[in-house]
């Protein structure tokens, strides 16, 4: 690849995650775009194209009203839990193709309180499935980790350690929603939501916005930016035999093949590096079990090794592979359209060495992000500097 088609991230912006009653989802997206433009030192009029993602908070392209009617090409993306990742994938493709050299990927969302409220018809399922009380995402996550713990010897205490780390990291992330530590015993003994998960082990739907300015490497140099290179961005859907949210049945022998494994393998292949060369990772942690399973699904360890990894603190900041350095979804909540881009935002912060109290030591050079969600989609990025 040449300087014209290498893709760099040269500006990042975020609206704090959590609850912001006074602002709409689009308001939070606009806030993030303005912050990213300022970070990159460019104006809205310089933006040649944009991809915007939101699952439940309106049409992203309507933000041109607020940012300026420059006539810019602006394409909306709505792709389940991979919405943000898909916006980023599309944006980098526009630059790699050589058609553009400066653009925007933005994602935002604003969900009501409580669990997501899905209806069976939206997922091709019969009405009885919803009436029975099975359109509840937490059931899937709980059943998946319950099987995984049984097969691979993962203890419930390890679930608690993941949550404890998330809240400890969130303390140091200004954009996080939950910013106070929670003791391990409190996490383990809190009321159960869906066994084996207590209420501290699940993230909540929330609000937030993230924007990334992308440029070709040539354009980045022209602008005098310190480029963070996007070595790979991949998105995949589910393979046969996978076990997904809202599953009335699973094929025999199923439950181990996942969209994540496909997206991860494709990303490592594109980047030309292996999992052992990643310095910091943001992995989908819808709940504490997801981070554990995703360590293996993304290739960072074998199934079952997580028990020892967590006991030794390897995924903490300062460990051999710090994971979810801003507290992940557990501390930040999950506004679907923004969540995957938050991971990339955090990785850019880490590669720039601007993480403050949550900075990974040793000047990390490579960073990995991974989204997984309904209806069986996954998006991965690999950054390096």
Partner 1 sequence: MTPDVSLFATDAPLRLLAARDRTTGRILFPHRDGDGLETITLGRRGTLWSYTVQRFRPKTPPYAGPEAFEPWALGYVELPGEIIIEARLTDIAFDAIRIGMAMELTEVPLDPAVAGSLRLPAFRPTVEAAA
Binding site for partner 1 (CB under 8 A): 114-115, 117, 119-120, 125-136, 138-139, 142-144, 146-147, 150, 191-196, 247-252, 254-255
The distance of closest approach from Cβ of residue 376 to partner 1 in the complex, given in angstroms and rounded to an integer, is: 16
Taking the CA atoms of 50, 27, 355 and 291 in sequence, report the sign of the dihedral they define. Answer: negative
The distance of closest approach from Cβ of residue 186 to partner 1 in the complex, given in angstroms and rounded to an integer, is: 18
CB of 21 or CB of 113, closer to partner 1: 113
CB of 135 or CB of 348, closer to partner 1: 135
The distance of closest approach from Cβ of residue 264 to partner 1 in the complex, given in angstroms and rounded to an integer, is: 23
Q: What is d(CA 84, CA 282) in angstroms, rounded to the nearest whole number?
A: 14
The distance of closest approach from Cβ of residue 191 to partner 1 in the complex, given in angstroms and rounded to an integer, is: 7
The H or E element that residue 380 is part of is strand 377-384
The distance of closest approach from Cβ of residue 291 to partner 1 in the complex, given in angstroms and rounded to an integer, is: 18
CB of 86 or CB of 258, closer to partner 1: 258
**List of residues 6+ apart from 200 with CB closer than 8 A:** 163, 167, 182, 186, 187, 190, 330
The distance of closest approach from Cβ of residue 126 to partner 1 in the complex, given in angstroms and rounded to an integer, is: 6
Q: What is d(CA 56, CA 109) in angstroms, rounded to the nearest whole number?
A: 6
Whether 165 and 151 have beta carbons less than 8 Å apart is answered as: no
CB of 136 or CB of 184, closer to partner 1: 136
DSSP 316: S
CB of 44 or CB of 129, closer to partner 1: 129
The distance of closest approach from Cβ of residue 243 to partner 1 in the complex, given in angstroms and rounded to an integer, is: 8
- Residue 340's CB is within 10 A of a number of other CB atoms, namely 35
Whether 91 and 75 have beta carbons less than 8 Å apart is answered as: no
Quick check: helix, strand or coil at residue 112? coil
CB of 204 or CB of 369, closer to partner 1: 204
Q: Report phi then psi at 10, rounded to 5.
A: -115, -5
Of 351, 273, 366, 281, nearest in space to 317 by CA: 281
CB of 196 or CB of 322, closer to partner 1: 196
């Amino acid at each position: 690849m040449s300087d014209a088609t290498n893709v760099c991230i040269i500006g990042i912006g975020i609206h704090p995650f959590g609850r912001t009653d006074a602002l709409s989802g689009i308001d939070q997206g606009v806030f993030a775009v303005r912050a990213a433009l300022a970070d990159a030192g460019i104006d809205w009029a310089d933006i040649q194209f944009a991809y915007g993602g939101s699952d439940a908070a309106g049409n992203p392209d309507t933000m041109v009203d607020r940012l300026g009617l420059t006539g810019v090409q602006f394409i909306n993306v709505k792709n389940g839990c991979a919405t943000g990742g898909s916006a980023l994938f599309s944006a980098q493709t526009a630059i790699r193709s050589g058609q553009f050299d400066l653009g925007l990927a933005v994602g935002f969302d604003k969900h009501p309180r409580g669990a997501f409220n899905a209806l069976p018809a939206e997922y091709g399922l019969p009405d009885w499935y919803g009436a029975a009380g099975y359109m509840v995402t937490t059931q899937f996550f709980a059943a998946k980790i319950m099987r995984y713990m049984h097969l691979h010897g993962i203890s419930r205490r390890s679930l608690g350690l993941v949550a404890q780390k998330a809240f400890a990291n969130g303390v140091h992330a200004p954009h996080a929603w939950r910013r106070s530590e929670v003791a391990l015993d409190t996490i383990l003994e809190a009321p159960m939501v869906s066994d084996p998960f207590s209420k501290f082990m699940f993230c909540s739907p929330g609000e937030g916005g993230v924007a990334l300015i992308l440029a070709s490497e040539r354009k980045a140099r022209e602008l005098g930016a310190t480029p963070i290179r996007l070595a790979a961005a991949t998105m995949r859907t589910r393979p046969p035999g996978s076990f997904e949210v809202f599953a009335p049945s699973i094929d025999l022998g199923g439950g181990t093949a996942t969209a994540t494994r496909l997206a991860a393998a494709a990303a490592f292949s594109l980047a030309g590096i292996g999992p052992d060369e990643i310095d910091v990772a943001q992995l989908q942690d819808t709940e504490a079990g997801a981070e554990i399973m995703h360590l293996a699904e993304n290739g960072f360890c074998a199934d079952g090794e997580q028990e020892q990894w967590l006991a030794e603190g390897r995924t903490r900041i300062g460990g051999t592979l710090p994971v979810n350095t801003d507290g992940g979804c557990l501390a930040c909540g999950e506004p679907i359209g923004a969540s995957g881009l938050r991971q990339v935002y955090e990785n850019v912060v880490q590669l720039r060495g601007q993480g403050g109290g949550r900075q990974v030591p040793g000047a990390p050079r490579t960073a990995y992000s991974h989204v997984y969600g309904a209806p069986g989609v996954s998006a991965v990025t690999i950054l390096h500097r």
